[in-house]
Structure 1
């Protein structure tokens, strides 16, 4: 089984969903969309040289009761998908955790 997840801007969701349905090679597969999510990202070249950035972010969100639905990483970015209703809380909590609120 393969699961593929990606994000698109809100105004392109219906088009992306229609295209996925059209090009889907397996008629038995399930294609879902969720408009009630947001992407929260940590970005910075310092992630290359500082360990523990991701674990701190995950713990911060967990401490706030925010479930991370998907995670994507690169050398300089960690993106997390959370429910839209927790978007602002997630950003505020992460700002505080990394002392960006000062």
Structure 2
């Protein structure tokens, strides 16, 4: 993926390309979230309670995604699974 981004950056004459290989993305997906409010808040509170840094997040009607530090992957998945009762 990085090679593709570098190629595109060169093609569009981008000034710089910043990347971080030490991250991961964790997502919770399900149509059941469409009718439940507060799922994203619950997920964020659960992760921060475990001192997991959320570097970026994105939500839609049926999906919550968080970018975390790579070393937090296992704890992050376990925390979301427990707190969201998955």
User: What TM-score do you get using the length of structure 1 for normalisation?
Assistant: 0.76
Q: Is 2:64 aligned against 1:87?
A: no
RMSD: 1.4
**Residue-pair matches, total:** 86
Cα distance in 2 for partners of 1:81, 1:92 equals 15
Structure 1 residue 16, shift from structure 2 partner: 3.0
> Which of 14, 29, 48 in structure 2 is aligned with 1:62?
48
1:23 matched to 2:16: no
The answer to whether the 8 Å contact 1:20/1:31 transfers is no
Partner Cα separation in structure 1 for residue 55 and residue 11 of structure 2: 25
* 1:34 partnered with 2:20: yes
Q: Which has the higher contact order (CA 8 A, sep 6+)?
A: 2
Of 43, 49, 54, which aligns to 2:29? 43
Higher helix fraction: Structure 1 or Structure 2? Answer: 2
List alignment gaps of at least 5 residues for structure 1.
1-11
Runs of 4+ deviating beyond 4 Å:
none
For structure 2, list consecutive stretches of 5 or more residues without a partner in the other structure. none
Structure having the larger proportion of residues in strand: 2
1:25-70, CA deviations, whole angstroms, 9 ceiling, x for partnerless residues?
453xx42001111100010111110011000000000000011111
